[in-house]
Amino acid sequence: MTTSTDSRTQAMAGDHAVVLGASLAGLAAAVTLSPRFDKVTIVERDAPPRADEPRRGVPQGRHAHLLLAAGMRGLAELLPGFIDDLRDHGAHVIEAAEFRFHLGGGRLALDDTALAISGATRPLIEGIVRERVRVLPGVRIIDGYEVVGLASSTDRTRVTGARIRARTGQAEVETVTAALVVDATGRASRSPRWLADLGYAEPPEERLDVGVHYTTRLFRRDPADLGGCRHIAVGIPPDDGRGGLALAVEGGRWLVTLVGSRGKRPPAPLSGFVEYARSLWQPDLYEIVAGAEPLGDASIGAFPAYLRRRYDRLRRFPGHYIVTGDALCALNPVYAQGMSVAIREAQLLGQVLDRHGLDGVGSRFFRRAMRDVDDAWLMATGADLADPAVEGSRPPSWRLVNAYMRRLLPVAHRDPVVANAFLEVMAMVARPHRIMRPRIALQVLCAGRRTGNPSSEATAPTAHPSCSDANCRTA
C-alpha cells in the first residue's frame, strides 16, 4: 500500500524530529515529519493498546468518535488509502445524505453525498493510523516512556531534545536529541511548566466550564434498523439537557452514547439507559436500544471544561518546538472537532516547514493554526453558551450570531441548500461565513419575516462527543 510519504520529495528540514505522544495528533504530526526528517521518534507514555481497546491516554476512547468530513479528507491526503483501510476493517463511511440529525425541533434536510464521516470506534481509527505510521520510512515508536522535561541550547533560545525515562524499574533519565520537538501529549501537557523551567512565560489560558456527562453502550445492529440509517443524532433542547447519538461501527454494532447537561447523567444500567433514551424528545435512539441486543458493559465519561493555551500570544517562544492537538486546545468532544483539528494542524506544520524550514517554526505554526482553532472554539463554545446555565461571556457579536442561528435551523429543516451549508461548516470543510453567503442569508431572513420569530425550540443547537454537528450539543 502506498502512502503520501513513500517518495521523499520535500526539502529535508533536519536529521531527527521527536514527537511526544502517540495520540492521533502525534501520529498525524509524524506522518507530516517523516518525509522532512531523516528520522522521526514517537515517545509514548503507555504500552501499546490491545486490539479493540482504547489507549489509557484517551479518556473518551470508549465513546463515540467521529472523523468529520475535514478529518476524513485530511487523513486521506496524509495517508492515501486510509478510507479503504477503514472499509477493509469493517468500518462504515457514511454520507451526509443518510444522516438523521434532529436539532432545533426538527431534522436537517441533508442530501449532500460529498460529505462523509467515519462509522468506526476510536481504537480502530487510531489503530489503523498507528500501523500505517509504524512502517513509514525512518519512523520508530518507543512505548512505555514518560517525558520529564526538555533539553535546550546553552542560551535556552532553542529546544534541542526531550528528556525521557522508562516507566518500568529504576531507569535513568536519558536525552533524545532532535532538530524539532513536537508536544502532542494532550490536555495534560506539561509544556507550560517545561517552558517556565527554561525561563519563558507560561501561555495565557482560556477556559469554559460546561459539565457534560455521557454514557455509552454497544448493541448488536440489524442492517434494517431505522430503514438502514447508520448515523442518528438527537440534539439537546435548551430547556432540557438530554440528547444522544447512535453510530454504526465495525463488527455489526451500534455505538450509542446518551448525553446529559444541566446536572443530568445518563444511567449505566441497561434499564435506566433505555428509559433515558425513551425520555428524549425524538424517538430514534429509543427505537434502537429498546429492541437491540446489548453487548458488554456501559462506559461513563465526562467533559468538565474547554481549555485553550494561547501560545500564539507569547512574545517569546523557544525555537524548534511546537505544541499541537489537545495540548494546544482541548475542545468539547460533543462536537467531534478534536481529531479533525489535530489533522489539520499536522498539515499546516508541513506547510510551515516547507516554506520556512525550522526558522521560527513554533511561532509561525501557532499563527497558522490560530484560524482553524478559532473557528472550532467559537462554533463549539458559541453553541454551549446558548444554554443559559453555562457561565461565560456573551458579547453582542455572539447574540447576533445566535439570533441568526435561531432563524437558520428551521429553514435547514426543509431546505437542503441551507442544511448542507450548515453541515459544511460544522464538518469543518467550510469556514463559518459559508452560512452567511447571500443565497443562504436570503433564505434565512425571508423565512424569518414570513414566519415571525422562530420557536424557542430552535435556540439551542446541540451535538455529541461525535455528532458532526457543532450546533447540536450531545456528548
| The pLDDT of residue 362 is above 50 | yes
Q: Identify whether 213 is part of a domain.
A: no
Separation of alpha carbons 5 and 26, rounded Å: 16
d(CA 330, CA 150): 22
Q: Among all chains, which residue has been given the C-alpha cell 514518560?
A: 146
Q: What is the DSSP letter of 158?
A: B
Residue 363 lies in a domain: yes
The answer to whether 274 touches 265, Cβ cutoff 8 Å, is no
Question: What burial letters (b/e) apply to 352-365, b meaning 16+ CB within 10 Å?
Answer: bbeeeebeebbbbb
First to last CA, the chain: 36
103, three cell numbers = 436539532
For residues 77 and 348, is the Cβ–Cβ distance under 8 A? no
Q: How far apart are CA 101 and CA 412, in angstroms?
A: 11
Q: Compute the average pLDDT of residues 325-349.
A: 95
Q: What is the pLDDT of residue 450?
A: 54
174 membership: H or E segment, kind and range:
strand 174-177
For residue 98, what are the β-bridge partners? none
Positive or negative torsion for Cα 458, 461, 462, 468: positive
- The residue assigned the cell 524550514 is 357
Quick one: cell of 1?
500500500
pLDDT by residue (tens digit) across 86-134?
A: 999 999 999 999 999 998 899 999 999 899 999 999 999 999 999 999 9
DSSP assignments along 55-77, one per residue? -TT-TTTTS-----HHHHHHHHH
Please tell me the distance from the alpha carbon of residue 461 to that of residue 18, in angstroms, as a whole number.
40
Summarised one tens digit per residue, pLDDT across range 8-47 is 445 688 899 999 999 999 999 999 999 999 999 999 999 8
pLDDT band at 185 (very low <50, low <70, confident <90, very high): very high
**Neighbouring-strand partners of residue 245:** 233, 257
Q: Which domain holds residue 67?
A: 14-88+123-206+308-380
Q: How many alpha carbons lie under 13 Å from residue 394 in its C-beta half-sphere?
A: 15
Residue 88, H or E segment? helix 82-88
* Structure confidence by residue, pLDDT tens digits, 382-434: 888 888 888 999 988 889 888 899 899 999 999 999 999 999 999 999 999 89
Q: What number is the average pLDDT over the span 429-446?
A: 90
Tell me what pLDDT residue 60 has: 78
- The whole-angstrom separation of Cα 186 and Cα 391 is 25
According to DSSP, residue 282 is labeled S
260 located within any domain: no
Report strand pairing: 472-473 vs 462-463. parallel
Q: Would you state the cell numbers that stand for residue 451, as one nine-digit string?
A: 414566519
Q: Is residue 267 a part of any domain in this protein?
A: no
pLDDT band at 184 (very low <50, low <70, confident <90, very high): very high
Please give the tally of structural domains in the chain: 1
The verdict on residue 254 lying in a domain is: no
Supply the pLDDT for residue 47: 86
Q: Are 216 and 318 in contact (CB under 8 A)?
A: no
Q: Rounded mean pLDDT of 248-265?
A: 94
* 417: in domain: no
- The average pLDDT across 317-341 equals 95
> Quick check: is 297 in a domain?
no
Q: What percent of the chain has pLDDT over 90?
A: 74
Model confidence at 3, pLDDT cuts 50, 70, 90, reads: very low
Q: What confidence score (pLDDT) does residue 454 get?
A: 43
Tell me, what CATH number does 79's domain have? 3.50.50.60
Nine-digit cell string for 85: 483501510
453 pLDDT exceeds 50?
no
DSSP 294: E
Asked, for residue 245, whether it belongs to a domain, the answer is no
Tell me the C-alpha to C-alpha distance, in Å, between residue 299 and each of 93, 258, 266, 379.
24, 11, 11, 27
The secondary structure of 336-394 as a DSSP string is: --HHHHHHHHHHHHHHHHHHHTTTTHHHHHHHHHHHHHHHHHHHHHHHHTTSTTS-S--
CA distance readout (Å), 3 to 8, 40, 77, 148, 334: 11, 16, 9, 33, 31
**According to the model, what pLDDT value does residue 449 have?**
59
